[in-house]
């Protein structure tokens, strides 16, 4: 580190020279731009020379082949690499096996080189852009912020490839989650969570299919822990916050999604938790999945979905906002206290002043889910009773990326981008195995 001042002096002189040679007037903007251009070029040369230095100057005559035999040195071959600092050229030894007729480059394997493709680190950055914003804007942003030139098709392809990595990982998890020996070993050796939450939801995504534009369910799930305490009143401040969130997503039939629910549950040790709490809205397919995978869990109907049903009913029955608010306040208090029978009676009583079909629909909704609405018991136990975590996933994956204006996906790419974004939101981005 002692030589850094000397390096800085030399770079400063180079920047001054370039500024003096320029016909433009020297401003802070020009100083910054010139310095950045110079540092990028220096970085490119440093990466190129460092990579080349890792190659053997005098290659061995043979190299171990994956088939178990020896491959013979043929010659040095050049390749282009696309890195964070731009394109660079590296020359490395090429070997060919006489037995299996397979060629390989030891340096590629040693350093994880990706010939004629984006380096793993560049791919990670490009993919990160692709899971956040549309590819056209992403291409412009990369050029402006990092001086990285990537076409829209390349950005889309890279984002999709990262989604494939997540997809392959999930497929392996699904296979492993069915192995009885593995499950038995976990039962003996794994640390068992004390309290874990799960939530499931879906949002609509437009996809192209045989010339049509169809709306498909993007199913979403989350496993998480929660800190804080619930409020003491239905309108109090909610301080419970989700922690250590693991998101997953797919466009699939409920039966196929069920396999992913179970696999991620095993990964997060949900099946070993002392308390497992599942939150969801009133969708039948959600509770069928829960019953199939975790029949003994604590099931909670999302508090905010339930209150929305009450609010909608009040608006239908009462014309005046004051009456709406008064009835809603009383109904929410009954629900908060866990007196669902009284809540149902209060809803049925509205038939005396209105013949709206919504009264019967709401009553049926509460009758069906009353075991999931024991809110007094739930908040006494300190449980989170709102599914804000999965609602956030629906917004951050569905609304903010999949449903941006003009977005239209084929199903395969929609799945890959959703899975890649779920990995990012779960703080798993840098752990994805992108190296060659």
Alpha carbon 40 to its chain centroid, in Å, reads 31
Q: 């993007």: which residue's tokens?
A: 218
Which helix (H) or strand (E) segment holds residue 181: the answer is helix 180-189
Rounded CA separation 374/300 (Å): 8
- Angle, CA 166 vertex, CA 164 and CA 169 arms, to 5°: 105
For residue 73 the two structure tokens come to: 């040195």
d(C-alpha 333, C-alpha 307), whole Å: 10
Tell me the pLDDT of the chain (436 aa) as tens digits. 678 889 899 999 999 998 988 777 889 999 999 999 999 999 999 999 999 999 888 899 999 999 999 999 999 999 999 999 999 999 999 999 999 999 999 999 999 998 888 999 999 999 999 999 999 999 999 999 999 999 999 999 999 999 999 999 999 999 999 999 999 888 887 788 999 999 999 999 988 877 677 889 999 999 999 888 778 888 887 777 889 999 999 999 999 999 999 999 999 999 999 999 999 998 999 999 999 998 889 999 999 999 999 999 999 999 999 999 999 999 999 999 999 999 999 999 999 999 999 999 999 999 999 999 999 999 899 999 987 777 888 888 888 888 887 677 899 999 999 999 999 999 999 999 876 4
Q: Which helix (H) or strand (E) holds 395?
A: none
Distances (CA, A) of 89 to 13, 113, 158, 213, 353: 28, 12, 21, 44, 80
Tokens representing residue 248 in the block: 């997953």
| DSSP alpha helix (H) spans, 229-320 | 254-267, 284-293, 303-317
Q: Say which residue the tokens 């009353």 belong to.
A: 370
Q: Which of 265, 260, 254, 256 is closest to 287 using CA atoms?
A: 254
pTM over 0.85: yes
Residue 345 φ then ψ, to 5°: -60, -40
For position 237, what pLDDT does the model report? 79
Phi, psi of 224 (to 5 degrees): -160, 165
Spatial distance between the Cα atoms of 248 and 264, rounded to a whole number of angstroms: 8
Helix residue spans in 294-410 (DSSP H): 303-317, 321-336, 340-348, 357-369, 375-380, 388-393
The string of DSSP codes covering 156-174 is: HHHHHHHHHHHHHHHHHHH
pLDDT at 24: 74
User: Which residue's structure tokens are 């009758």?
Assistant: 367
H/E element holding 98? none
DSSP-assigned letters across all residues of 185-250: HHHHHSPPPSEEEEEEEEEEEEEEETTEEEEEEEEEEEEEEEES---SSTTS----EEEEEEEEEE
Query: Residues 197, 203, 207, CA angle at the centre, nearest 5°?
Result: 140
């Amino acid at each position: 580190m002692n030589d850094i001042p000397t390096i800085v002096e030399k770079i400063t002189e180079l920047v001054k020279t370039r500024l003096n040679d320029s016909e433009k007037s020297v401003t802070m903007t020009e100083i910054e731009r010139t310095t950045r251009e110079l540092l990028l070029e220096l970085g490119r040369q440093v990466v190129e020379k460092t990579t080349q230095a890792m190659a053997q100057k005098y290659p061995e005559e043979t190299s171990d082949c994956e088939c178990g035999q020896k491959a013979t040195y043929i010659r040095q071959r050049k390749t282009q690499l696309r890195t964070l600092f731009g394109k660079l050229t590296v020359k490395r030894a090429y070997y060919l096996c006489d037995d299996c007729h397979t060629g390989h480059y030891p340096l590629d394997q040693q350093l994880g080189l990706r010939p004629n493709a984006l380096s793993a680190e560049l791919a990670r950055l490009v993919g990160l852009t692709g899971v956040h914003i549309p590819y056209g804007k992403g291409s412009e942003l990369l050029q402006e912020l990092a001086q990285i030139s990537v076409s829209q098709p390349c950005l889309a392809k890279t984002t999709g490839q990262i989604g494939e990595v997540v997809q392959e990982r999930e497929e392996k998890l699904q296979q492993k989650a069915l192995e009885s020996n593995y499950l038995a070993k976990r039962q003996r050796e794994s640390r068992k969570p004390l309290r874990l939450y799960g939530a499931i939801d879906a949002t609509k995504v437009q996809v192209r299919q045989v010339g049509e534009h169809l709306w498909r369910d993007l199913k979403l799930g989350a496993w998480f822990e929660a800190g804080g305490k619930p409020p003491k009143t239905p309108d109090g401040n909610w301080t419970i916050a989700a922690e250590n969130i693991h998101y997953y997503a797919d466009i699939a039939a409920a039966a196929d999604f069920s396999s992913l629910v179970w696999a991620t549950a095993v990964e997060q040790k949900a099946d070993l938790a002392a308390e497992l709490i599942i939150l969801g809205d009133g969708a039948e397919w959600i509770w069928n999945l829960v019953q199939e995978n975790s029949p003994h869990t604590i099931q909670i109907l999302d508090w905010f979905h339930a209150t929305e049903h009450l609010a909608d009913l009040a608006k239908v029955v009462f014309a005046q906002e004051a009456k709406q608010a008064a009835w809603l306040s009383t109904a929410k208090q009954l629900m908060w206290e866990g007196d669902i029978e009284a809540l149902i009676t209060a809803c049925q009583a509205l038939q005396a002043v209105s013949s709206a079909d919504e009264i019967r629909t709401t009553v049926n909704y509460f009758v069906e889910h009353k075991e999931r609405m024991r809110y007094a018991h739930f908040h006494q136990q300190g449980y989170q009773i709102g599914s804000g975590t999965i609602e956030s996933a629906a917004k951050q994956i569905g609304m903010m990326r999949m449903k941006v204006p003009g977005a239209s996906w084929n199903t395969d790419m929609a799945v890959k981008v959703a899975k890649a974004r779920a990995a990012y939101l779960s703080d798993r981005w840098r752990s994805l195995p992108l190296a060659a």
